[in-house]
Amino acid sequence: KAGVTQTPRYLIKTRGQQVTLSCSPISGHRSVSWYQQTPGQGLQFLFEYFSETQRNKGNFPGRFSGRQFSNSRSEMNVSTLELGDSALYLCASSIGGTTSSYEQYFGPGTRLTVT
């Protein structure tokens, strides 16, 4: 099976702009989670989508949003970019549903630089 794919891999944006990142989960996986990774804060959970519904949300401002499509592909959007949004954004997919182990498989990430 193909792994989790994320596009684009690298992005450079200017403060105030908005950005959309895309994630395609492993085939058959219905849950997609997003994480932000920075040297200072480490790995922080953004949100999780399951069957096109947001199921969990982390402590990020409303500028961060996401959605999931019927084929389980997910996008996240960051509006009004700030310098502090520069980070590696990681997407992870898992089977979802009623499984209790919830092992997640990560994509390679999108490196966002805000100037």
User: Which residues here bind another protein, judged by CB under 8 A?
Assistant: 4, 6, 31-33, 35, 42-43, 45, 48, 50, 55-56, 58, 90, 92, 94, 96-109
DSSP helix/strand/coil, 86: coil
Q: Which two tokens stand for residue 112?
A: 């966002």
Nearer CB in complex with another protein: 54/115? 54
Report the nearest approach of another protein to the CB of residue 75 (Å): 16
Report the nearest approach of another protein to the CB of residue 68 (Å): 11
Q: Where would I find the beta strands (DSSP E) of the chain?
A: 5-7, 10-13, 19-24, 31-38, 42-50, 53-57, 64-68, 74-78, 87-94, 105-106, 110-114
Report the nearest approach of another protein to the CB of residue 53 (Å): 12
